[in-house]
Amino acid sequence: MSALLESQHQTFIGVAVHLHREGASELAAEIFQACLAEGTPALPDPSRDMLVVAAELHRRGQLGLAERLYRHLLKAPSPPADAYNLLGYALHQQGRSQEGMQQVAMAIALDPHQADFHNHFGLTLQGQGSQHWSEAAAAYLRALELSPGHAQALDNLLGLLAAMPEPSPLTDALRRAMQQGAAAGTQWLRLGAIHEKHQRHAEAAAAYASAESAMPGQAEPLLRLGTLHQAHKHLEAACEVYQRLLQMVPGHRLAQERLADCRCEMGEFAQGLADLEALHQDHPSPALQARIELAFPCLPDSLQQIETLRGKLEATLDDYLARSETLPPLFSPGFFYLAYHGRDDRELQRKGALLARKSMPQLDYTAPWVAGYAGPGARIRLAIASSLFYTHSIGRTTRGIVDQLDRSRFEVVLVCLPPRRSDDMAHAMRAAADRVIDLQGDLQRDRQTLEQARFDAIFYVDIGMNPYQSMLAHARLAPLQCTHAGHPDTTGIPTVDWWISVDELEPPDAASHYSEQLHLLRGVPHFSYYYRPRLPERLKQRADYGLRDDEHVFICPQYVFKLHPDFDLILEQILRTDPRARILLTRSPVAHWSTVLLRRLEGRMGRLVDRITCLPGLAMPDLMNLEQLCDAVLDTPHFNGFNTTLEAWAAHAPVVTLPGAFYRGMHTAGMYRFMGLHELIARDADDYVRIALRLATDAEFSRAMRAAIAERIGVLYENAEVVREYERFFEQKLAALARPA
């Protein structure tokens, strides 16, 4: 470079530095850019002015030029720490995060108290992949500790935590940093969403409350909080939040709609339905009209209401199926409660599924590869799908099958639907599976994920419990698709091929109850490889539960929506016949359901209801302990207990049962017959009352029944033949589906 040209460069640089000092940084950057485009001049000694101008180039996206200036600055005997920091950030932005991390680490070594350095260090770590996410989160948190109001570090940390598949231990420290830094309301909303993702209900609620304080007069925090309470069945709390929102924003349509939904779901069906009808009158819409017409109570008032509403439902379904116009999406969660009516649901469920497909044609999809299915490979690739693979009745009934299927013949893939929860059982089930697929709740993408996996069979273990699972099941994503009694009511879905049940637990006309083909497991006590529950080591006494020794105590450990109006008569007769009788009901997920049920019972039996006690929720060991102390466990007619019955028997507690007409009302009696024990199976309601009272008043009979249960229950738990029967089912049915090459 000629001396004259070099002198011109020096002049240009001097002008640029002067302009920067005068506040014209952008113009200074342009001069630098023009200067450097003609070659690399002999730059003046590094100075803060040079660093700021280089940073301006950086800001303008001239990353290569900025990198060259930063590197020149680092040639000085004592380069500024920020040059290392900004060089590292520029390298990260160019996809060289590991190299950038080294430069930012040098900056932190020179000056460890700069929040910007730690924020950029987090970015360079995050850019190297998920294996460094925990370190990145710690770096962002360190930036916030140094500068609680550092908006970039907070946004970066919130974004990273949202992407993490598991909850981070740093969220509590983050909350404290946000409180110190007066975080914006939108940032509190993001933290709440992160807690929701990881099923941390209390923490999410606290974050939304902070958002409300930071965003006074805005609806979004209250909508989020109400939705959160509603999703977790804290319906009374949800109602209170929606009412507050309506006081703040009168006529807020979404709040009105959700308040009405909460009231219906709480069991205040008449009030909730009236609210929906009033809303529809003010804001008519086909979707809202359909919701009103398809609504169904969780706790029916009477047998008459059941019959009336079922008739109305069928007429509504027929009407919609006959219409030619385009329909709004019609997928009613109220169909879940049909199973508790003691009636044949096949036609209602079939018509409901047809209506879902008519109103949402996108549900009807077939993976192209299925048509040419030639049979399984060396191992059957089996997907087992649910959203309830944790400490839940579905987790308990499915875990043993996941554990015990023969891995030389089966590849077992756990398909986890949202919303997921994480606990010890969830971790155990995920560890036992050969592979785990976590679906995201996007129907098209999730179907594509399952289609690409090319499963031989998809086993949806509890269709009806989660609407999203039902929507997935409408697609043909595997040659064989099946379900069983996770939710014991036929699906009506034409793409669910088989219903797996047990020969000893079904009536002779069972095939007519299912839209699916019925396959019966033979020679087994029930449909689950069920791990035997264990009693706690230290047993409590009646007084620990607030019960007297001179009472005759009966417990019904079922969710209250299982208590059919027919059962009211049985409870009344027990209380009326035995003045020392006390009946315990366990509290359901929706606390208000107990209030609604007791109101129904009081209408039938008057003040006898005072001897019915609704207990708070009990952990399984405590419940088993209590069942052991009670005189009898009362099984619900029409829809028996399954997990609760196996838990009671593990405590050697006698369970009184009255068989119904369908599988869901027959399995307790069927398991008794499998054990060769018939004395606790009632012939009718009067016989049920007689057996229950005899257990409370005839000590010898009670001891004999408890001893017989203790002696014979071994066949019900960890029965390997159950798994062998599933293996035979899948092998035989898939062999029959294979097409010659």
Amino acid code (one letter) for 454: R
Q: Among 96, 51, 42, which Cα is nearest to 70's?
A: 51
Q: Is the pLDDT of residue 283 over 70?
A: yes
513 vs 419: which has the higher pLDDT: 513
How do residues 354-385 score in pLDDT, each as one tens digit?
Answer: 999 999 999 999 999 999 999 999 999 999 99
Residue 639's pLDDT band, with cuts at 50, 70 and 90, is very high
How do residues 124-181 score in pLDDT, each as one tens digit?
Answer: 999 999 999 999 999 999 999 999 889 999 999 999 999 988 878 888 888 888 888 7
Residues 181 and 110 in one domain: yes
Q: Is the pLDDT of residue 619 over 80?
A: yes
* Cβ–Cβ < 8 Å for 534, 650: yes
Last residue of a domain, one of 475, 490, 521: 521
Residues 311 and 433 in one domain: no
Residues 483 and 597 in one domain: no
Residue 496 counted as domain residue: yes
In 3-state terms, what secondary structure has residue 377?
coil
Last residue of a domain, one of 521, 556, 571: 521
Last residue of a domain, one of 328, 357, 386: 357
pLDDT score, position 507: 96
Tokens representing 736 are: 């029959």
Main-chain dihedrals φ then ψ at residue 539, nearest 5 degrees: -90, 140
Start-to-end CA distance of the chain, whole Å, equals 75
Residue 4's pLDDT band, with cuts at 50, 70 and 90, is very low
How do residues 567-615 score in pLDDT, each as one tens digit?
Answer: 999 999 999 999 999 999 987 888 899 999 999 999 999 999 999 999 9
Residues 218 and 310 in one domain: no
Residue 724 counted as domain residue: no
The dihedral sign for the CA sequence 207, 211, 217, 220: negative
What does the pLDDT average to over 313-326? 94
Q: How far apart are CA 125 and CA 178, in angstroms?
A: 22
Q: Among 741, 551, 732, 719, which Cα is nearest to 631's?
A: 551
CATH number of the structural domain spanning residue 483: 3.40.50.11380
CATH number of the structural domain spanning residue 262: 1.25.40
Judging by beta carbons within 10 Å of its beta carbon (0-12, 13-18, 19+), is residue 602 exposed, middle or buried?
middle
Q: Is the pLDDT of residue 45 over 60?
A: no
What does the pLDDT average to over 281-300? 92
Amino acid code (one letter) for 27: L
Residue 735 counted as domain residue: no
Main-chain dihedrals φ then ψ at residue 605, nearest 5 degrees: -115, 5
CB atoms within 10 A of CB 555: 26
pLDDT score, position 246: 97
Residue 8 counted as domain residue: yes
Q: Is the pLDDT of residue 47 over 60?
A: no
* Cβ–Cβ < 8 Å for 518, 493: no
410-416 β-sheet, strand order: 435-438, 410-416, 380-386, 457-460, 480-483, 498-502, 517-521
What kind and span of H or E run contains 314? helix 303-322
Residue 56's pLDDT band, with cuts at 50, 70 and 90, is confident
Q: How far apart are CA 710 and CA 699, in angstroms?
A: 16
pTM for the full model? Answer: 0.86
User: Percentage of the chain surpassing pLDDT 90?
Assistant: 80
Q: How far apart are CA 437 and CA 430, in angstroms?
A: 10
Which of 11-20, 244-253, 510-519 shows the lowest mean pLDDT across its residues? 11-20
- 506-525: buried (b, 16+ CB within 10 Å) or exposed (e) per residue? beeebeebbbbebbbbeebb
Residue 527 counted as domain residue: no
Residue 562 counted as domain residue: yes
pLDDT score, position 180: 85
- 201-216: buried (b, 16+ CB within 10 Å) or exposed (e) per residue? eebbbbbbbbbbebbe
Q: Is the pLDDT of residue 25 over 90?
A: no
Judging by beta carbons within 10 Å of its beta carbon (0-12, 13-18, 19+), is residue 570 exposed, middle or buried?
buried
Q: Residue 346: give the domain boundaries.
A: 229-357
Residue 739's pLDDT band, with cuts at 50, 70 and 90, is confident
Cα separations in angstroms, 301 against 305, 308, 574, 671: 6, 11, 21, 31
CATH number of the structural domain spanning residue 620: 3.40.50.2000
Residue 526 counted as domain residue: no
Residue 43's pLDDT band, with cuts at 50, 70 and 90, is very low
Residues 79 and 205 in one domain: yes
Residue 93 counted as domain residue: yes
CATH number of the structural domain spanning residue 19: 1.25.40.10
CB atoms within 10 A of CB 200: 16
Residues 334 and 259 in one domain: yes
pLDDT score, position 8: 47
Tokens representing 131 are: 């294996």
Residues 220 and 233 in one domain: no
Report the mean per-residue pLDDT for the chain: 92
Residues 425 and 467 in one domain: yes
Q: How far apart are CA 666 and CA 674, in angstroms?
A: 12
What does the pLDDT average to over 436-450? 97
Residues 286 and 399 in one domain: no
Residue 49's pLDDT band, with cuts at 50, 70 and 90, is low
pLDDT score, position 509: 96
Tokens representing 516 are: 């699916």
pLDDT score, position 13: 67
Q: Is the pLDDT of residue 431 over 90?
A: yes
Q: Is the pLDDT of residue 34 over 70?
A: no
Per DSSP, 530 falls in state -
Residues 205 and 274 in one domain: no
Residues 221 and 235 in one domain: no
Q: How far apart are CA 651 and CA 644, in angstroms?
A: 11
Q: Where are the alpha helices (DSSP H) in 62-170?
A: 63-73, 81-93, 97-110, 115-126, 133-146, 151-163
Tokens representing 61 are: 């996206």
Tell me: cis bond preceding 419? Omega within 30 of 0 counts: yes
User: Percentage of the chain surpassing pLDDT 70?
Assistant: 93
pLDDT score, position 31: 61
Number of domains making up the chain: 4
Residues 574 and 709 in one domain: yes
165 sits in the region (left: phi over 0; alpha: psi -120 to 50; else beta) called alpha
Q: Among 134, 103, 133, which Cα is nearest to 120's?
A: 103
Tokens representing 56 are: 């301006």
Amino acid code (one letter) for 415: V
What kind and span of H or E run contains 402? helix 393-404
